C-alpha cells in the first residue's frame, strides 16, 4: 500500500545552495516554518563547499606548497584527504545548523512539482509532499557535455567533482575548454605534477578579456608547463586501453593528443530537467534556465528562483545576493532588485589569480568613452614589495579610468592577492571614489593594495 506523508510549511526551499540556505536561515529566525529539500546528502550547503569553491581553492593552496622532492601521487592523495575532511565538516555543519532549528526541516531526496504550491519527494512508497504558499528554487547548475563523437562514452571521461574526489593523480590530463573552470584545474593539476593540455576553440584564452591580459595569463600558464592549444576544433575521442586519443583540427590540419583523464570544461546549465516545472506553470528559457524578473519572481509570482538556476552569473556570491533580494520581497520593503548590482568582481584562481571588475579597455573604447589606461607589470611596481616578499612577482595590474571624471571604469589584476584587492576596487567603483583618491590613500605596508599608490600614475594611453 502506498503511503504519502503530507507536510505544510510557510516557505519551501528546493535546493541547499548558498541562496537557498541563507534565505532559509533568515526566514526561520523570522518565525516562518521552513522545509528545505536537497537531492543528495553529499550536497548539503550546495556546490561551493562540497565540489566547487572550497575544495578547488584548497587544492590551489596544497598544489602551491608541493616541493620538487615530494612524491606526486602521495602528496596528491594527502591533499585530497585534507579536502575531504574539510568538506565533510562543512557539509555536516550546514545540515545541523538548519535542521536543528525548531521551525526548520531538511528532507533528502529528488523533488518534483505536483502543482504550483506542492512538491513531491520520491515516488511510490513513502512519498512525501510539501505544500507552501511561497517556494524558492535553488537547484544550481551542472556541466554541459559537448556533442563530440566518442566523448560521452569514454571511460577516461571525468567531471570536476570526480577529479577532486579521487586519490589518483592522473599522469596526463586534457582539459576541453579554456574558461575559468578549465584554467583553474589546468593550473592546479600541473602544479601537482600532472602533464596538462588545454584545448580551446577560440583563437586565444579568455576572449572576453583584453588581449594583453589574456597573453599575460597564457604566458604564466605555459611558463608553469601547461600546454595551451588555441584554435582547436575537437572532432573525435578515441579510446584504447589506458588512454584516450583526442583528435582535433587546427589551421586546417589534424592533430592528436593523449590523455589518461579527460575533463570537459565547456560550460554549465541550470538543473531543471527533473523538476517538472510545467506542472507548476513555471516558464524556462530555451536553455532550460528559469525565467525571472528583476525581483527573481518566476512566471508564478509566489515562486522565486535563486542562483545558477535562474540563468544569471554562476557565482556563489551572486546566489547570496539573490537571497538578499528575495528576503527583501518577503520580509522587507521590496526595493532590492538585480538592477541594483554594480561593479561585480570575478576571480580566476590560477597562480597568481586574475581578478577583474567593470569594463575592459576594449569595451570602453567600443563604447566611445574618453579613457586613460594605467598599466604596470607587478615585477616593476616599486610600491608593492609584498610581491617580492612572497616570491610571486608575475603578472600585471591594469585600470581603465574615465578621463573626464577620474572615475574607475574597470580593472584587471593578475597578481598575488588579486582576489582580495579587487574588492577594494569594486567598492570604490560603487561609491564613485576616484582613481586619484585610491592613488593617494594610505595603505598598510607591505601589502598588495599599496600598488594603487603607483599604478594609477603609469598611464599608457
Q: Kindly report, residue by residue over 161-216, the tens digit of the pLDDT.
A: 888 888 899 999 999 999 899 999 999 999 999 999 999 999 999 999 999 999 99
4-143+269-340 CATH fold = FAD/NAD(P)-binding domain (3.50.50)
CATH class of 160-266: alpha beta
Confidence at 395, pLDDT banded by 50, 70, 90:
very high
Cα–Cα distance, 246 to 234 (Å, whole number): 7
Catalytic residue among 126, 255, 302, 445: 445
User: Which of the four pLDDT bands, split at 50, 70 and 90, describes residue 1?
Assistant: very low
Does 183 belong to an annotated binding site? yes
461/47 Cα distance (integer angstroms)? 42
Fold: same for 4-143+269-340 and 346-455: no
CATH code matching the domain that covers 346-455, chosen among 3.30.390.30, 3.90.950.10, 3.90.660.10, 3.90.78.10: 3.30.390.30
Distance in angstroms (rounded) separating the CA atoms of residues 412 and 355: 6
Please write the tens of the pLDDT for every residue from 351-392: 999 999 999 999 999 999 999 999 999 999 999 999 999 999
| pLDDT higher than threshold 60 for residue 2 | no
Q: Is 431 a catalytic residue?
A: no
Instruction: Please state the domain extents for the chain.
Output: 4-143+269-340, 160-266, 346-455
- The average confidence (pLDDT) of the chain is 94
**Helices then strands, each counted (H, E), the chain:** 13, 23
Is 330 annotated for ligand binding?
Answer: no
- SS3 of 56-122: the string is HHHHHHHHHHCCCCCCHHHHHHHHHHHHHHHHHHHHHHHHHHHHCCCCEEEEECCEEEEECCEEEEC
> Does residue 146 carry a pLDDT above 80?
yes
pLDDT in tens, 439-453: 999 999 999 999 999
Q: Please check if 178 is assigned to a binding site.
A: yes
- Kindly compute the dihedral angle of the four CA atoms of residues 368, 206, 460, 220, in this order, to the nearest 10 degrees: 180
Instruction: State yes or no: 267 annotated in a binding site.
Output: yes
Specify whether the CB–CB gap between 200 and 232 falls below 8 A. Answer: yes
Amino acid at each position: 500500500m502506498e503511503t504519502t506523508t503530507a507536510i505544510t510549511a510557510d516557505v519551501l526551499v528546493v535546493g541547499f545552495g548558498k541562496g537557498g540556505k541563507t534565505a532559509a536561515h533568515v526566514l526561520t529566525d523570522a518565525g516562518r516554518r521552513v522545509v528545505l529539500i536537497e537531492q543528495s546528502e553529499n550536497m548539503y550547503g550546495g556546490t561551493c563547499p562540497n565540489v566547487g569553491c572550497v575544495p578547488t581553492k584548497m587544492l590551489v593552496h596544497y598544489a602551491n606548497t608541493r616541493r620538487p622532492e615530494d612524491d606526486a601521487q602521495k602528496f596528491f592523495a594527502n591533499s585530497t584527504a585534507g579536502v575531504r575532511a574539510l568538506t565533510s565538516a562543512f557539509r555536516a555543519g550546514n545540515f545541523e545548523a538548519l535542521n536543528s532549528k525548531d521551525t526548520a526541516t531538511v528532507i533528502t531526496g529528488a523533488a518534483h512539482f505536483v502543482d504550483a504550491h506542492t512538491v513531491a519527494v520520491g515516488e511510490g512508497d513513502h512519498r512525501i509532499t510539501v505544500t507552501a504558499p511561497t517556494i524558492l528554487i535553488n537547484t544550481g547548475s551542472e556541466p554541459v557535455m559537448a556533442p563530440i563523437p566518442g566523448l560521452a562514452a569514454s571511460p577516461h571521461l571525468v567531471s570536476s567533482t570526480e577529479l577532486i574526489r579521487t586519490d589518483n593523480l592522473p599522469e596526463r590530463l586534457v582539459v576541453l575548454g579554456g574558461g575559468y573552470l578549465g584554467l583553474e584545474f589546468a593550473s592546479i593539476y600541473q602544479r601537482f605534477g600532472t602533464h596538462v593540455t588545454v584545448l580551446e576553440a577560440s583563437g586565444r584564452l579568455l576572449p572576453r578579456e583584453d588581449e594583453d591580459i589574456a597573453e599575460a595569463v597564457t604566458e604564466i600558464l605555459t611558463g608553469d608547463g601547461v600546454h595551451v592549444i588555441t584554435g582547436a576544433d575537437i572532432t573525435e575521442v578515441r579510446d584504447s586501453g589506458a588512454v584516450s586519443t583526442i583528435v582535433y583540427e587546427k589551421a586546417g590540419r589534424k592533430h592528436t593528443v593523449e590523455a589518461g583523464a579527460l575533463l570537459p570544461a565547456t560550460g554549465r546549465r541550470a538543473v531543471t530537467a527533473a523538476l517538472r516545472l510545467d506542472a507548476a506553470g513555471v516558464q524556462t528559457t530555451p536553455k532550460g534556465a528559469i525565467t525571472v524578473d528583476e525581483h527573481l519572481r518566476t512566471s508564478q509570482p509566489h515562486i522565486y528562483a535563486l542562483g545558477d538556476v535562474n540563468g544569471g552569473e554562476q557565482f556563489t556570491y551572486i546566489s547570496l545576493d539573490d537571497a538578499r533580494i528575495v528576503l527583501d520581497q518577503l520580509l522587507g520593503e521590496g526595493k532590492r532588485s538585480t538592477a541594483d548590482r554594480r561593479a561585480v568582481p570575478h576571480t580566476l584562481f590560477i597562480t597568481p589569480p586574475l581578478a577583474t571588475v567593470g569594463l575592459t579597455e576594449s569595451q570602453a573604447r567600443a563604447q566611445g568613452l574618453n579613457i586613460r589606461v594605467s598599466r604596470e607589470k607587478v615585477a616593476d611596481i616599486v610600491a608593492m614589495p609584498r610581491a617580492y616578499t612572497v616570491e610571486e612577482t608575475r603578472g600585471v595590474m591594469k585600470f581603465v579610468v574615465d578621463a573626464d571624471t577620474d572615475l574607475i571604469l574597470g580593472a584587471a589584476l593578475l597578481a598575488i592577492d588579486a582576489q582580495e584587492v579587487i574588492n577594494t576596487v569594486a567598492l570604490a567603483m560603487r561609491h564613485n571614489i576616484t582613481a586619484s583618491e585610491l592613488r593617494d590613500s594610505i595603505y598598510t605596508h607591505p601589502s598588495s593594495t599599496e600598488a594603487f599608490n603607483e599604478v594609477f600614475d603609469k598611464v599608457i594611453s
